[in-house]
Amino acid sequence: MVHKYDAVIVGAGGAGLMAALNLSPHGRVAVISKLYPTRSHTGTAQGGIGAALGNMEEDHWEWHMFDTVKGSDYLADQDAVEILCREAIETVYELEHWGLPFSRTAEGRIAQRPFGGHTKEYGKGPVRRSCYAADRTGHMILQTLYQQCIKNQVHFFDEYHLLDVLMADGRCAGAVALCLATGEIHTFHAKAVLDATGGCGRMFRVTSNAHALTGDGMAVALRAGVPLEDMEFFQFHPTGIYKMGILLSEAARGEGAVLRNRTGERFMERYAPTLLDLAPRDMVSRAMYREIREGRGIDGKNYLHLDLTHLGADVLDKKLPDVTEFVRTYLGIEPKKERVPVQPTAHYAMGGIPTDANGRVIVDEANTPVAGYYAAGEAACVSVHGANRLGTNSLVDILVYGRRGARHAASFIKENDWAPLPERADDRAREQVSRLMPANGKERVGAIRDALQDEMMEKAAVFRDAQTLRAMRETLQELRDRYARIKIEDRGTKYNTELLEAIELGNLLDLSEVLVESALGRQESRGAHWREDFPQRDDINWLKHTLAYKTANGIEFRFKPVTITRFQPMERKY
Ligand SMILES: Cc1cc2nc3c(=O)[nH]c(=O)nc-3n(C[C@H](O)[C@H](O)[C@H](O)COP(=O)(O)OP(=O)(O)OC[C@H]3O[C@@H](n4cnc5c(N)ncnc54)[C@H](O)[C@@H]3O)c2cc1C
């Protein structure tokens, strides 16, 4: 079946919905989403969206920009960060005008709270910058945007799974997706495609990411010849619930919660004397691993405590209701009275599909765009987060760059006709499905995925070195061999989740390979990428972005310079 639209957005999280909403006045717009839109991961974001509104104390977008660049370990492109921090402010007011129920100050303004790495006067101390709706900020953003999209006649194709993106004459011509309800393959012929398919945290065992975050859009782009940028940088969030990885928002520490080791010590005093528990996530996660390695985990085990007991019932009930409820539900612990077991949890892909500041997908270090192909949100890398993202900056990124991509696409669809649909456009997608469908081997998808997640956690997580990464390279080869021998028992066409999980696993395997090869290549430590065999940041050789291409000979690399405008790289102290 072939559909024809001016623009197709893949993904209905914050980035996809913001793009759809901004494109909808300019043409016929379809959104394809494998999840029902309001189930997208954006809806789980708790802590808030960062913008220098200055509602609680003095603040400026320049300070926000400085913090973001320093937080990124100087790998972020500063032109893109400037746009992010300037446009954050109008974006938050726009959400407010669409009806988003922000938490308020006594005077009725949008309330703001501190978050990791956000400071006043270029690093002098924490600043209240995160705008929030209790600890349900993402939920409110998603509901608000979805209502606006429905009001503006966006067409939704819910539970359609992207399989391929179509290229013709160097242009993007559309996308191919599988309808979950029927098993049919649909081709979407479009002048512009915007990928907003989110992250890929499911490559790790302990993760805050929902099951659907398997990096499908990134893997599709990679197979279509687009490089992936900076995939070696994967963020671990300090406070996942022990063993489960379910996130306890940084908002908890923003409201005053502290991390403690087995002696009860507030160990962040030793690692970040100024910002303490609100240092950036890469530093706090590494400090936690060090405490555990040196035997100061709770009972000598691999977890630490998040202490909320001193915050008082009022703060917990009004500002952190979800955090406290999660602790009760998943651990059976009363956070008002007891400390909570936490460990770092795989959280956010800094890397992704490379784009310019207008959301256009680019294919090389000269920023050459693919006409009609756009990406935004966690699937994309613009790059505003560099080697380490600050909390609250993803929600800004998805909205600011979702909108910018849409604005550029709006003029593109006005000025251009449809690229001709390639003949037998859905061949590659059909082939992918038919390769998997009669799969009659002995290997189970679940078992391979378990092995992948355990091994990635062991060998390619917070600390890495050449030895662990080479071992992971071999493990991936074995897992790919096993993947070629999988068994799919469900031969049905309706809601064949076994088939979908197999497709998703294939994507995770491809992306893990890119992560491992990129991490092996980068012989320095920067942000979330910590090489024990190269423990220093090396600005002379490595102040550059990785672009990884999938070729017949494996992963090949090119490198792109970092754009530096206002802030020269400095030592990172907090
Ligand atoms: C628990 C948690 C809490 C967080 N809290 C915060 C916070 O407080 N502040 C902050 O700034 N950031 C936070 N983050 C990060 C932030 O929420 C995400 O990075 C961001 O919401 C991603 O938005 P997105 O629109 O790019 O993708 P998502 O919201 O993940 O949406 C992806 C969309 O793509 C669709 N999709 C995926 N694959 C396919 C496919 N194959 N075919 C069709 N559709 C597909 C999905 O259906 C979905 O609609 C948090 C993240 C987590 C996991």
> Tens of pLDDT along 177-217?
999 999 999 999 999 999 999 999 999 999 999 999 999 99
Q: From the CB of 197, is ligand 1 less than 6 Å away?
A: yes
- Residues serving a catalytic function are 281
> Is residue 245 situated within a structural domain?
yes
- Which residue's C-alpha comes closest to atom 2 of ligand 1? 45
Cα-to-centroid distance, 196 and ligand 1 (Å): 9
Looking at residue 452, its pLDDT comes to: 98
Atom of ligand 1 nearest to the CA of 503: 41
Best substitution site from 139, 322, 394, 403 to test ligand 1's pocket, by max atoms within 8 Å of Cβ? 394
Question: Same domain for 390 and 524?
Answer: no
Task: State the average pLDDT over residues 471-484.
Answer: 97
> Is residue 437 situated within a structural domain?
yes
Residue 270: alpha-carbon gap to chain centroid: 30
- Residue 187 belongs to domain with CATH number: 3.50.50.60
Atom of ligand 1 nearest to the CA of 396: 11
- Which residue's C-alpha comes closest to atom 35 of ligand 1? 11
Cα-to-centroid distance, 42 and ligand 1 (Å): 4
- Which residue's C-alpha comes closest to atom 27 of ligand 1? 198
Question: Same domain for 252 and 320?
Answer: yes
Segment (H or E) for 16: helix 14-23
Q: From the CB of 395, is ligand 1 less than 6 Å away?
A: yes
Cα-to-centroid distance, 38 and ligand 1 (Å): 11
Percent of the chain with pLDDT over 70: 100
Q: For 493-526, how does the pLDDT look when each residue is reduced to its tens digit (9 = 90+)? A: 999 999 999 999 999 999 999 999 999 999 999 9
Task: State the average pLDDT over residues 546-567.
Answer: 98
Looking at residue 414, its pLDDT comes to: 98
Q: For 292-319, how does the pLDDT look when each residue is reduced to its tens digit (9 = 90+)? A: 999 999 999 999 999 999 999 999 999 9
Question: Same domain for 50 and 162?
Answer: yes
Cα-to-centroid distance, 472 and ligand 1 (Å): 27
Question: Same domain for 341 and 455?
Answer: no
Looking at residue 536, its pLDDT comes to: 97
Q: From the CB of 209, is ligand 1 less than 6 Å away?
A: yes
Cα-to-centroid distance, 36 and ligand 1 (Å): 13
- Residue 529 belongs to domain with CATH number: 1.20.58.100
Atom of ligand 1 nearest to the CA of 35: 47
Atom of ligand 1 nearest to the CA of 220: 41
Looking at residue 168, its pLDDT comes to: 87
Atom of ligand 1 nearest to the CA of 504: 41
Percent of the chain with pLDDT over 90: 97
Give CA–CA dist 196/374, Å, rounded: 9
Q: From the CB of 468, is ligand 1 less than 6 Å away?
A: no
Number of structural domains in the chain = 3
Which structural domain, as residue segments, surrounds residue 415?
1-233+350-422+556-568
> Is residue 574 situated within a structural domain?
no
Task: State the average pLDDT over residues 88-111.
Answer: 97
Question: Same domain for 201 and 227?
Answer: yes
Looking at residue 169, its pLDDT comes to: 84
Question: Same domain for 462 and 402?
Answer: no
Looking at residue 520, its pLDDT comes to: 98
Question: Same domain for 455 and 404?
Answer: no
Task: State the average pLDDT over residues 59-74.
Answer: 98
Q: Is it true that the peptide bond before 208 is cis, omega within 30 degrees of 0? A: no
- Which residue's C-alpha comes closest to atom 50 of ligand 1? 45
Instruction: State both tokens at 467.
Output: 């030895």
What DSSP character marks residue 421? P
Q: From the CB of 393, is ligand 1 less than 6 Å away?
A: yes
Cα-to-centroid distance, 68 and ligand 1 (Å): 20
Cα-to-centroid distance, 398 and ligand 1 (Å): 9
Burial of residue 125 (CB within 10 Å: 0-12, 13-18, 19+) is exposed
Looking at 345, 367, 382, the residue that finishes a domain is 345
Q: From the CB of 34, is ligand 1 less than 6 Å away?
A: yes
For residue 486, pLDDT over 90 is answered with yes
Question: Same domain for 459 and 320?
Answer: no
Cα-to-centroid distance, 209 and ligand 1 (Å): 8
Q: From the CB of 402, is ligand 1 less than 6 Å away?
A: no
Atom of ligand 1 nearest to the CA of 199: 30
Cα-to-centroid distance, 338 and ligand 1 (Å): 31
Q: From the CB of 148, is ligand 1 less than 6 Å away?
A: no
Task: State the average pLDDT over residues 124-136.
Answer: 95
Atom of ligand 1 nearest to the CA of 15: 25
Q: From the CB of 198, is ligand 1 less than 6 Å away?
A: yes
Best substitution site from 31, 40, 234, 392 to test ligand 1's pocket, by max atoms within 8 Å of Cβ? 40
Q: Is the dihedral of CA 44, 350, 498, 11 positive or negative?
A: positive
Looking at residue 275, its pLDDT comes to: 94
Looking at 293, 328, 345, the residue that finishes a domain is 345
> Is residue 573 situated within a structural domain?
no
Question: Which parts of 405-468 are beta strand (E)?
Answer: 463-464
Looking at residue 324, its pLDDT comes to: 95
Provide φ and ψ at 223, rounded to 5°. Answer: -70, -20
Model confidence at 437, pLDDT cuts 50, 70, 90, reads: confident
Question: Same domain for 131 and 89?
Answer: yes
Question: Same domain for 510 and 363?
Answer: no
Q: Which residues contact 404 (CB under 8 A, 6 or more apart)?
A: 83, 87, 357, 358, 359, 376
Cα-to-centroid distance, 37 and ligand 1 (Å): 11
Q: From the CB of 35, is ligand 1 less than 6 Å away?
A: yes
Give CA–CA dist 501/477, Å, rounded: 19
For residue 439, pLDDT over 80 is answered with no
- Residue 303 belongs to domain with CATH number: 3.90.700.10
CB 155 within 8 Å of CB 30: yes
Give CA–CA dist 533/153, Å, rounded: 54
Does the pTM surpass 0.95? The reply is: yes
For residue 344, pLDDT over 90 is answered with yes
Question: Same domain for 223 and 243?
Answer: no
Q: From the CB of 386, is ligand 1 less than 6 Å away?
A: no
Looking at residue 438, its pLDDT comes to: 73
Atom of ligand 1 nearest to the CA of 142: 29
What are the angstrom distances between the C-alpha of 72 and each of 241, 243, 393, 562? 25, 28, 11, 12
CB 4 within 8 Å of CB 418: yes
**Residue (of 391, 382, 349, 320) closest to 119 by Cα position:** 391
